[in-house]
Amino acid sequence: MTCVASLLPPDAEAAAQRLVETLRGEATRYVAADRLPDIRLESAAITAVIDPANGQPGYEGVWRNHLGERVGKLIFNSDGSYYAEFDLCVRHPSKPGLFVEAVTAWGRGGTLKAEARLLPMV
């Protein structure tokens, strides 16, 4: 696992912490606190990447479960925008027939938004 503090620039690390807090907050709307998955910045493997849109450097983080399967990701683009998602795959607590596939958060600078990705049960 890559050390976040040594890889992310200070502004990206601050944004990453906000993204993680936002994901965790959104997840608590659908999952009981004692069953909340481990959404922590320290548990994401962060790597430097090249932004495919412009060839500039960016960062990507990946969360994996105990089986090594990817369960979430963080992306920091060179233009200052960022995106994160974390898989929940739980029944929606108040809408029968729907489940919450994941929670997502995105933004740029001081603007940050979040929502759940809902899918119908089959």
- Longest alpha-carbon distance in the chain: 45
For tokens 């849109």, the residue is 53
Query: For position 51, what pLDDT does the model report?
Result: 82
Domain tally for the chain?
Answer: 1
Phi, psi of 92 (to 5 degrees): -70, 130
Please, what's the b/e burial string for 94-111 (b: 16 or more CB within 10 A of its CB; e: otherwise)?
Answer: eeeeebbebbbbbbeeee
Q: How confident is the model at residue 91 (pLDDT cuts 50, 70, 90)?
A: very high
Q: What is the pLDDT of residues 52-90, one digit of tens each?
A: 778 999 999 999 999 999 999 999 998 889 999 999 999
Looking at the DSSP bridge assignments, the partners of residue 87 are 102
The boundaries of the domain holding residue 82 are 4-120
pTM of the model: 0.86
